[in-house]
Structure 1
Amino acid sequence: MRDQLKNRILVAPLNWGLGHATRCIPLINALLANKFEPIIASDGIALALLQKEFPELETVELPSYNITYAKNGQFFKLKMLQNSPKLIKAIKAEKKAIKTIVDTYRIDGILSDNRLGVYSKHIPCVFMTHQLKVLSGNTTWLSTKMHQKIIKRFDECWVPDTMGEDNLSGELSHIDSLGIPIKYIGSLSRFKKSKSQLKYDLLVLLSGPEPQRTLLQNLLLKELIAFKGKLLFVKGVVEGESKASVNDHITCYNFMTSEALEQAINESKIVLSRSGYTTVMDLAKLEKKAFFIPTPGQFEQEYIAKRLTKLGLVPSCTQDEFKVEMLKTVEDFSGLKSTDYTTNYKRLFNLFESK
């Protein structure tokens, strides 16, 4: 089989919620369609999800960053600073692991989705991110400079967005220059829109690091008891198998595979979720109306939510402010729309042909 395929590409998404892993799914499928052999590398729930999606592919576990969020959003930046020594140690371990992985698995190219230590000087390496500008309040200049310094160690930077006015990421990924080639590869989503009969009045879609995922889950389960309509609640907890429970008008799942979740979103009138960038890309692809609650203190999600609300696309509020009555405001917003951009994967993957 090895002789029939082209080069082996290590695809390594960050384990920070499920977003980085899920947006790599269309790229893995594109690599397979173009006769490359993807090797998946990650840790935790990100690795577990991709192992379920691609049981036939080889996988390898990377050192975990073990990043957690603060319970209080006001201390988000402080918590990140406290995590810094642990993060630096993990990146060093990651770099060491990559040297062995590249040799052991005969890797020909690397696609790192925000994993800072996954690169090699000996093969073509790509860093994928929608954050060329890293928002961190009054330290944005510093966090951006540090992030860009790391990105420049790679051969190219791929941005999952478009350059046009219909872009989703705004100032996060649209900068003048970087020092290495920036390629805007279009919005990435594992989903396809279908004309489905509406089955749910509301779909709650959770993900993201703890403890904020659980805090929002508990808040919403309490608040949405008063919701009038049929509700599907996906907790975003990846376990051995997908399990459902029904309580009155609420159907809960611990998690859903791509196929099941695609159908669920298509069958839902409104989606309530975090304003994580991958979620935004998914909902844009499926052209859904939504309501966003950004993770407290996470500047990127707060920026995206406020921007989309200002553009008249999606209403949003803070976690502390949310009340079930706010969902009525969704009707006053136009919802997210898909772009016509088509990614030329054959040309994009040319980098992995050069050795």
Structure 2
Amino acid sequence: MNLNSENKTILIAPLNWGLGHATRCIPIIKALQENNFTPIIASDGIALELLRKEFPYLKTLELPSYQIEYAKNGKNFKWKLIKSLPKMLEAIREEKNIVKKWIKKYEINGIISDNRLGVFSKNIPSVFITHQLNVMTGNTTWITSKLHQHIIKKYKACWVPDINAQLNLTGKLGHIENNTLKVQYLGPLSRMHKMALPIQYDLMVILSGPEPQRGLLETHLKEEVKRFQGKVVFIKGIIESKQIKEQIENVTYYNFMKTRQLEQTFNESKKVLCRSGYTTIMDLVKLNKKAFFIPTPGQYEQIYLAEKLQKEGLVPYSTQEDFKIEDLSQIDQFKGLPELDTTVNWEELFKVF
């Protein structure tokens, strides 16, 4: 417990890009509270909705949307992103002005930004969280990485949720040569805990990420799971006001789950079928679960992680269009993700404030 925090107010702002940035901020928000800080949560869209459900008693604020749109065809992902760049830059400018006002209004003493580029102040300690010191964008990786590193340099610290060792999860994404950034490796961050529970499901399907790709994968997998021999729990990753549960033959469908129920369901499931998003990978490490990955089409970072982990003999993967339910039999030929130390020295990290 940090007794020097004097109940300082910390603004924590995750990017609304799927649910990963929001969910990995959950353990940070809890750690802030445990160390006598007062967190204020800021985001937009489903990321903000999710955090409001997790922390109904905390102050939440709405930031402008980056309006990131995914292409239906993965090959067009980069061009769709480039097209939405002017809107995104406008949102970042707006974000900067809003944050400036909030610092005065809410007497904010520090900032934690999870990939929100406009959430920063020169006047108070500002920390940036990312697992991408290098930003993969195919043949433009060098320029996107340089631009990202230029932004990170402004911050007082950069927290990377991985370990700085030969055996690590992010590879080239989270480790750079000749590093001049103020990087601190936290170890994998997860809101999950491993529990010794009896297995209830042979397969857990968990979807995440922005539309339309989340919906396209849902449609594809609903057909595929019909051929699966065993009990399936299928979490669609749609955040709505009420939870909806539906039973169709051997498959139990949920629109979403809050952390406690999700944690229990993970622990009660034998195998997991999911995206290769980095937050999901960290959850699987913590829970010591074997998995099969389907990276989001066109998302270079997820494709890189899936390829890396398959090459290392840890987790198999398939492309979205080629996936067949029979592919899950490959899981047994892979080692599964390594058990890494996930204890974080929050007191030491929070000294930045």
Q: Tell me the TM-score normalised to structure 2 length.
A: 0.97
> Deviations 1:81-118 (Å, cap 9, x if unpaired)?
11111111111111111111111111000000000000
AA at the equivalent of 1:233: F
Q: Are residue 274 (structure 1) and residue 270 (structure 2) matched?
A: no
AA at the equivalent of 1:148: Q
Written as runs of structure 1 = structure 2, the 5 A alignment for 1:256-335 is 256-335=257-336
Q: Does the Cα contact within 8 Å between 2:162 and 2:188 map onto a contact in 1?
A: yes
Matched with 1:156 is 157
Secondary structure class of the residue paired with 2:269:
coil
Offset of residue 340 of structure 1? 2.2
Written as runs of structure 1 = structure 2, the 5 A alignment for 1:84-103 is 84-103=85-104
Question: Aligned equivalents of 2:230 and 2:73: distance in 1?
Answer: 31
Offset of residue 165 of structure 1? 2.4
AA at the equivalent of 2:333: D
Q: Does the Cα contact within 8 Å between 1:155 and 1:180 map onto a contact in 2?
A: no
Q: Does the Cα contact within 8 Å between 2:136 and 2:145 map onto a contact in 1?
A: yes
Secondary structure class of the residue paired with 1:232:
strand
Question: Which moved further from structure 2: 147-156 or 182-191?
Answer: 147-156
Matched with 1:223 is 224
Question: Aligned equivalents of 1:107 and 1:100: distance in 2?
Answer: 10
Q: Tell me the TM-score normalised to structure 1 length.
A: 0.97
Secondary structure class of the residue paired with 2:172:
helix
Residues 341/264 of structure 1: CA separation in 2 closer, same or farther (3 Å cut):
closer
Structure 1: which 5+ runs fail to align?
Answer: none
AA at the equivalent of 1:243: I
Question: Aligned equivalents of 2:84 and 2:150: distance in 1?
Answer: 20
Matched with 1:65 is 66
Written as runs of structure 1 = structure 2, the 5 A alignment for 1:45-60 is 45-60=46-61
AA at the equivalent of 1:11: I
Written as runs of structure 1 = structure 2, the 5 A alignment for 1:130-149 is 130-149=131-150
Question: Aligned equivalents of 2:91 and 2:175: distance in 1?
Answer: 29
Question: Which moved further from structure 2: 213-222 or 148-157?
Answer: 148-157
Question: Which moved further from structure 2: 261-270 or 168-177?
Answer: 168-177
> Deviations 1:220-269 (Å, cap 9, x if unpaired)?
00111111110000000001122211010110000000000000000001
Matched with 2:21 is 20
AA at the equivalent of 2:101: T
Offset of residue 152 of structure 1? 1.3
Question: Aligned equivalents of 1:296 and 1:266: distance in 2?
Answer: 28
Q: Does the Cα contact within 8 Å between 1:5 and 1:37 map onto a contact in 2?
A: no
- RMSD value over aligned CA atoms? 1.2
Question: Which moved further from structure 2: 334-343 or 235-244?
Answer: 334-343
Secondary structure class of the residue paired with 2:87:
helix
Question: Aligned equivalents of 1:310 and 1:8: distance in 2?
Answer: 44
Q: Does the Cα contact within 8 Å between 2:5 and 2:35 map onto a contact in 1?
A: no
AA at the equivalent of 1:57: L
Question: Aligned equivalents of 1:123 and 1:319: distance in 2?
Answer: 44
Offset of residue 177 of structure 1? 4.1
> Deviations 1:159-216 (Å, cap 9, x if unpaired)?
0000112311111011134433100011000000011111001100001011000000
Written as runs of structure 1 = structure 2, the 5 A alignment for 1:54-203 is 54-203=55-204
Question: Aligned equivalents of 1:337 and 1:173: distance in 2?
Answer: 17
Q: Does the Cα contact within 8 Å between 1:166 and 1:339 map onto a contact in 2?
A: no
Question: Aligned equivalents of 1:161 and 1:179: distance in 2?
Answer: 18
Matched with 2:249 is 248
Structure 2: which 5+ runs fail to align?
Answer: none
Matched with 2:208 is 207
Offset of residue 119 of structure 1? 0.3
Matched with 2:349 is 348
Give the percent of matched residue pairs that are identical in Structure 1 and Structure 2: 56
AA at the equivalent of 1:66: Q
Offset of residue 5 of structure 1? 4.8
Count matched residues.
350
Secondary structure class of the residue paired with 2:205:
strand
